[in-house]
Amino acid sequence: MAAWQCDGGAVEFVAKHFHDCLYNLYDYIGFGLGLLAIVIWVCAQLPQFIDNIRNQSADALSVWFLAQWFLGDTLNLLGCLLQGEQLLTTTATAGYFICADVVMLTQFVYYTALQSRRSAQGHRRRRHHLERHVSPAPAPAPAPKNPQLHRHHHHHHHHHHH
């Protein structure tokens, strides 16, 4: 008999989809807390994904932090698989975290590579739209006869803090 084939009285939907047998309030609370933990974890990682994409950078993440997290999640998943009798949710969650970590690590590697390439180009992205107005030569903007150019040129120094 499989672990998720519950005796009568269990919540059918949960038994079928989550392979978990809920008989009483304690079971419901435990199950609810488990789901809540998943939601909190997912929400905790999401803003970081979005920030990374918005800033095109993974500076906020330390490589060691990611490595430890990844290791922990890998062990978690292995534990689930080795126990065999684990709930679907537990294994699915462990699997999700591995995926989340892989995405994070990929973002980290990708953006770090992108950034080193970008600094090699002298951070041109920020001032690219300004340089279109001035001569393409590496020399600074033409003499400030034209105050418009001068103001533009002066302006981008303020933006350039990293």
Angle at 34 between CA 33 and CA 39, to 5 degrees: 90
Q: What is the pTM of this model?
A: 0.28
Question: What is the reported pLDDT for 155?
Answer: 47
53 vs 21: CA distance, rounded Å: 40
Question: Does 106 fall in a domain?
Answer: yes
Q: Is residue 47 part of a domain?
A: yes
- Binned at pLDDT 50, 70 and 90, residue 16 comes out as low
CA 70 vs CA 73, 101, 160: distances in Å: 5, 6, 34
In a domain, 150, yes or no: no
* Domain encompassing residue 115: 12-130
User: Does the pLDDT at position 135 exceed 70?
Assistant: no
Q: Can you give the pLDDT at residue 1?
A: 41
Domain annotation covers residue 151: no
Residue 85 lies in a domain: yes
Rounded distance between C-alpha atoms, residue 16 and residue 117, angstroms: 51
- Give tens-digit pLDDT for 71-112: 777 777 676 666 655 566 666 777 777 777 777 777 777 777
Q: Distance between CA atoms of 126 and 81, rounded to whole angstroms? A: 48
> What amino acid occupies position 2?
A
| Distance of alpha carbon 147 from alpha carbon 150, whole angstroms | 5
How many domains does the chain divide into? 1
Find, among 50, 48, 52, the residue nearest to 111 by Cα: 52
**Phi/psi zone of residue 67: left (φ > 0), alpha (ψ -120 to 50 degrees), beta?**
alpha
Nearest residue to 97 (alpha-carbon basis) of 75, 70, 59, 119: 70
Could you give phi then psi for residue 134, rounded to 5 degrees?
-105, 175
